[in-house]
């Protein structure tokens, strides 16, 4: 209001001077000059007073009335819901006071501390049947239960450390009637079409034989492996996906023509634990049809689960589709991560043992060169490099 009144007074003064002296040429320029000065002073006064008023408003906005301060500081009446005025909010009496070092605020699960698996408790004289969960290994089960890996393998008839999600592992407490000798492993006779597929991860540990297996599901970066095997007179087993076969039919045909074994790796490379079993079974049969069309051969009796991911239901579905053997592995080169040739050679040379099923991929860039150098070394150690059928027989 003050700035409006001031502007009005200055405007009247300047208008009066202009009207009084403008007609007199002698004072015309002086009148114009004085009028301009008055207008500038009016504008300056308007801006100055306006800023002062804003400052007063800002200062006054933070002055709390005694009643508001009382309500704000009172935990009992803070933000009451309609109909609940005066009621006390629940108190979190179980929360301990903050301590030094507790300042870290975990914003999401990714930054939260990892959950520690619960111990597996086996009572004296009793037994526990533990169901393998995703991420479990024999070593982790050993740590949680207090038993050795050797004990776990002995009690469950395991010849390798490979286990799968959903598998049952038996644990025997102190003074329980645990097996004193290894439980006989399941025979490798082909089950009927209605029976579950049998998981196999290793051949006989008494014979110096090794089976090279190659998965084909992505590209052909390491397709020269066909020539390497041919040069070294070695036969291997190839697990092909239906999509890969349809994309590279000539290579699929070459693999078959050179006498290598062919297994089924699914059509879409599905994770068996993430789809229903009917979808999974149809995917497997679709791959079979694609492989038969390209090579003229059925990929039976061997199937390999994509990602090595399976459970009892998936094994049953594979068996119903006509695949009695689901092939796992005992030595993983991890060549899909594209390690150097030297690292691949080192992993095979140090890890190789009797009856090994070695997992490799046609997409491995350095796999052909590494295999080419490893074949003579393994043969020099007395190993025979064979197909899965030879290994199992």
Cis? peptide before 301, omega within 30° of 0: yes
Q: Give the per-residue pLDDT at 4.
A: 59
By mean pLDDT, which of 1-10, 157-166, 257-266 is the weakest?
Answer: 1-10
The number of residues making up the chain comes to 393
Q: Is 366 designated active site? A: no
pLDDT tier for residue 105 given thresholds of 50, 70 and 90? very low
Say if residue 208's pLDDT is above 50.
yes
Asked whether the predicted pLDDT for residue 70 surpasses 50, the reply is no
105 is catalytic: no
Catalytic residue among 260, 265, 269, 361: 361
* Residues contacting 230, CB < 8 A, separation 6+: 258
> For residue 12, is pLDDT > 70?
no
pLDDT higher for 115 or 84? 115
The mean pLDDT value for 223-237 works out to 97
* Residue (of 99, 104, 79) closest to 89 by Cα position: 79
Residues with Cβ within 8 Å of residue 319, at least 6 apart in sequence: 191, 193, 194, 195, 196, 197, 198
Nearest to 389 by CA among 237, 283, 175: 237
H-run or E-run covering 288: helix 277-295
- Separation CA 335–CA 340 (nearest Å): 9
Residues with Cβ within 8 Å of 239's Cβ and at least 6 positions away in sequence, in order, are 213, 214, 215, 216, 262, 263, 264, 265, 302, 303, 304, 327
Q: Where residue 227 falls among pLDDT bands split at 50, 70, 90? A: very high
Question: Quick one: pLDDT at residue 7?
Answer: 58
Whether the per-residue pLDDT at 95 is higher than 90: the answer is: no
Same fold flag, 118-185 and 198-392 = no
Domains of the chain, by residue range, sit at 2-50, 118-185, 198-392
Looking at every residue in the chain, the average pLDDT score rounds to: 78
Helix (H, G, I), strand (E, B) or coil at 110: helix
Q: What is the CA radius of gyration of the chain?
A: 41
> What pLDDT does residue 215 have?
97
**pLDDT value for 335:** 95
Tell me the pLDDT tens digit for each residue of 321-376.
999 999 999 999 999 999 999 999 999 999 999 999 999 999 999 999 999 999 99
Percentage of the chain lying above the pLDDT 70 cut: 65
Mean of pLDDT values over 243-265: 96
DSSP states of 182-228: PPPPPP-SPPPTTSPPEEE-B--TTS-EEEEEEEESS--TTTTHHHH
Phi, psi angle pair for 266, to nearest 5°: 80, 165
Of the residues 215, 283, 335, 356, only one is catalytic, namely: 215
CATH ID of 198-392, from 1.10.150.20, 2.60.40.10, 3.20.20.370, 3.40.50.720:
3.20.20.370
CATH annotation of 118-185: 3.10.350.10
User: Beta-carbon neighbour count of residue 306 at 10 Å?
Assistant: 19
Phi/psi of residue 200, each to 5°?
A: -130, 130
């Amino acid at each position: 209001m003050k700035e409006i009144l001031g502007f009005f007074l200055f405007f009247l003064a300047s208008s009066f001077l202009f009207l009084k002296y403008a007609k007199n040429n002698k004072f015309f320029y002086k009148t114009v000059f004085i009028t301009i000065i008055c207008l500038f002073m009016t504008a300056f006064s308007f801006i100055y007073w306006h800023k002062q008023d804003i400052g007063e408003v800002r200062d006054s906005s933070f002055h709390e009335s005694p009643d508001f301060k009382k309500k704000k500081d009172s935990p009992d009446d803070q933000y009451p819901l309609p109909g609940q005025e005066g009621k006390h909010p629940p108190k979190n009496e179980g929360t301990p006071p903050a301590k030094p070092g507790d300042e870290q605020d975990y914003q999401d699960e990714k930054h939260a501390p990892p959950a520690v698996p619960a111990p597996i408790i086996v009572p004296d004289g009793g037994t526990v049947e533990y169901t393998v969960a995703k991420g479990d290994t024999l070593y982790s089960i050993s740590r949680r239960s207090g038993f050795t890996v050797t004990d776990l393998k002995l009690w469950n008839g395991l010849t390798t450390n490979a286990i799968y999600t959903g598998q049952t592992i038996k644990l025997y407490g102190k003074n329980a009637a645990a097996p004193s000798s290894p439980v006989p492993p399941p025979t490798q006779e082909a089950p009927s079409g209605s029976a579950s597929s049998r998981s196999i991860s290793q051949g006989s540990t008494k014979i110096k034989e090794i089976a090279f297996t190659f998965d084909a599901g992505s590209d052909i970066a390491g397709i020269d492996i066909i020539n390497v095997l041919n040069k070294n007179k070695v036969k291997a087993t190839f697990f092909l996906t239906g999509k890969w076969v349809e994309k590279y039919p000539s290579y699929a045909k070459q693999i078959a023509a050179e006498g290598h074994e062919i297994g089924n790796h699914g059509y879409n490379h599905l994770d068996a634990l993430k789809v229903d079993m009917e979808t999974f079974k149809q995917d497997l049969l679709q791959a079979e049809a694609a492989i038969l069309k390209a090579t003229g051969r059925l990929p039976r009796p061997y199937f390999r689960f994509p990602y090595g991911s399976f459970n009892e239901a998936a094994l049953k579905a594979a068996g119903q589709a006509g695949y009695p053997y689901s092939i796992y592995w005992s030595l993983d080169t991890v060549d899909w991560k594209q390690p150097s040739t030297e690292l691949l050679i080192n992993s095979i040379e140090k890890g190789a043992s009797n009856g090994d099923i070695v997992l490799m991929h046609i997409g491995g860039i350095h796999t052909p060169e590494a295999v080419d150098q490893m074949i003579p070394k393994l043969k020099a150690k007395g190993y025979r490099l064979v197909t899965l059928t030879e290994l199992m027989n």
